[in-house]
Amino acid sequence: MGSHRKLIAELSRLLNSDQVLTDPAQLEEHSWDALSEGRIHPLRRPESALPLCVVLPATTEEVRKVVVLANKERIPIVPYGGGSGLMGGAISIMPGIVVDLRRMNRILDIDVEARMARMHAGIVLESLDKGLNEKKLILGHDPWTLPVATVGGTISTNSLGYRGAKYGSMGDQVLGLEVILPQGEIFRTRAVPKSSTGVNLKHLFIGGEGCFGIVTEATLRVFPRPEKRSLQAFRFSSFEAGFEVIKRIYVKGLKPSLMDFGDDATKFDGGAVLYLGLEGTQEAVQLEEQIALGICRGGGGKELPGDEAERFWRDRHVVAHRFKQNRHRRRERMRDNLYRDFIHVALPISQVLPFRKAATEIVAKHGVQLQESGLWTQPELFSMRLATQDGEQNQANLESAVEELLGLVQERSGSMEYCHGVGIKLAPFMAEEHGTALEVMKQIKQVLDPNRIMNPGKMGL
């Protein structure tokens, strides 16, 4: 207890007293992210702990001071952004310091001619996008969590958003980073689109989930505000029919700004629905629309009313707004007493349909309900949403099905996650995913973080 008081006093000396939180309700709020306890296998449920405190730095130098102290005292640090991560990357598994970066929330520079912007890592994506809109620019990253997630958080998981088919993942948009390393050094990479002067170390922190350092600033590629957007919705008789059409769209070289496809039985009465969006200059969108619509119609797609696609685009962030209003329920399963989980896997395009067939058999074997299978942003990125009734054995069956599906995708040369990162949820499967490469990651971790303070227990490190 005395060492705890000493830590709080020292942090209060390094920062202002209002930047160090110790209230139990605030500690609990920061101890967990959006990973539902219903999505953790009962046999793999990790220990969790209240943080010792939460700090709210406002500058890079303040983050550095906190990290130096934590490293000296060998106290764990958990970087914290919007708290909307679905894999447990921001969960405190042992008492430590949570570094909430959301006071570092400014746009520092927008270079309109170069189409790049520099900002604090704690800025919420929606706020950043609004600032860019004032300069007739947009943020290319548009996840469902846009109103909640921060720049640093989405970089740390290499998040994917609705516009990913056209603009890539968040990591694809990163030009340069400023990072506080685990021993307190300030690390910066040059913010250029291409360099051949050795290993590009920004990639150590894109998808690194705060295990190698805390991102404090980022320079991102940004994009001109589209002159025109076209939104369409098509129903296909089957998943397979829609899949073949989507393949043809991508073979033609089209890059939709939106591609969301699925056979959600809770929404559609049979078949599968494709939401397709195109955006850019007037001339480009008109040409791409002509090609894409011809492919969809030729492949048996039936056009849905125009307002169906508009509604989908308009409502894409609704879930995030609900999350903001009900953070205290984030650890609980839905009120309908169903346990739910999902997979988001990446596969060679030739393996998608065979995998889907095998996966359907696995799900049925475990007595689990398949609610939806679909594709997002690319035909190689396949998802399934699963559910089962209340009861610990049913939850165990659901999570066993998920684990078998992840093993199957790895056997077929795929990756077990393309969107949300690893956190604690997928950490047990990192050795199978990476083989020797996981040992390389561990060696890098040991060199940068010999006292193992930085987000311990995540990513299998």
Q: Which residues of 76-85 are buried (b: 16+ CB within 10 A; e: fewer)?
A: bbbbbbbbbb
Helices 239-251 + 282-298 axis angle, to 10: 140
- Between CA 169 and CA 192 the distance in angstroms is 17
For residue 425, the model assigns a pLDDT of: 97
Go through the chain and tell me how many residues it has. 461
User: What value does the mean pLDDT of the chain take?
Assistant: 95
- Between CA 377 and CA 255 the distance in angstroms is 9
- Of the candidates 174, 210, 212, the residue with the CA atom closest to the CA atom of residue 33: 210
pLDDT in tens, 310-364: 999 999 999 888 887 776 556 665 557 889 999 999 999 999 999 999 999 999 9
* 306: CB partners within 8 A, 6+ apart: 231, 232
DSSP per position, 413-431 = T-BSBSSS--TTTSGGGHH
Q: Which tokens belong to 172?
A: 């694809």
What letter represents residue 7's amino acid? L
Q: Which of 38-47, 200-209, 338-347 has the lowest mean pLDDT?
A: 38-47
C-alpha to C-alpha distances, 422 to 154, 447, 458, nearest whole angstrom: 13, 21, 7
pLDDT in tens, 53-107: 999 999 999 999 999 999 999 999 999 999 999 999 999 999 999 999 999 999 9
* 117: CB partners within 8 A, 6+ apart: 107, 109, 110, 111, 128, 132, 137, 219, 220, 222
Chain CA centroid to CA 141, Å: 11
Place of tokens 């559609």: 268
The pTM score is 0.96
Q: Domains of the chain (ranges plus CATH)?
A: 1-225+426-461 (3.30.465.10), 228-320 (3.30.70.3450), 333-425 (3.30.70.2740)
- Between CA 3 and CA 25 the distance in angstroms is 22
Q: How many CB atoms lie within 10 A of CB 291?
A: 15
Helices and strands counted in the chain (H then E): 14, 18
- Of the candidates 228, 319, 225, 304, the residue with the CA atom closest to the CA atom of residue 272: 304
Whether the pLDDT of residue 443 is over 60: the answer is: yes
- Between CA 355 and CA 259 the distance in angstroms is 20
Strand bridging mode 369-376 / 258-262 = antiparallel
Percentage of the chain with pLDDT > 90? 90
For residue 331, the model assigns a pLDDT of: 65
Place of tokens 């396949």: 382
Q: Which of 118-132, 238-252, 268-282 has the lowest mean pLDDT?
A: 268-282
Whether the pLDDT of residue 306 is over 90: the answer is: no
Banded pLDDT at 232 (limits 50, 70, 90): very high
- Of the candidates 425, 450, 456, 461, the residue with the CA atom closest to the CA atom of residue 94: 456
For residue 43, the model assigns a pLDDT of: 86
Q: How many CB atoms lie within 10 A of CB 261?
A: 24
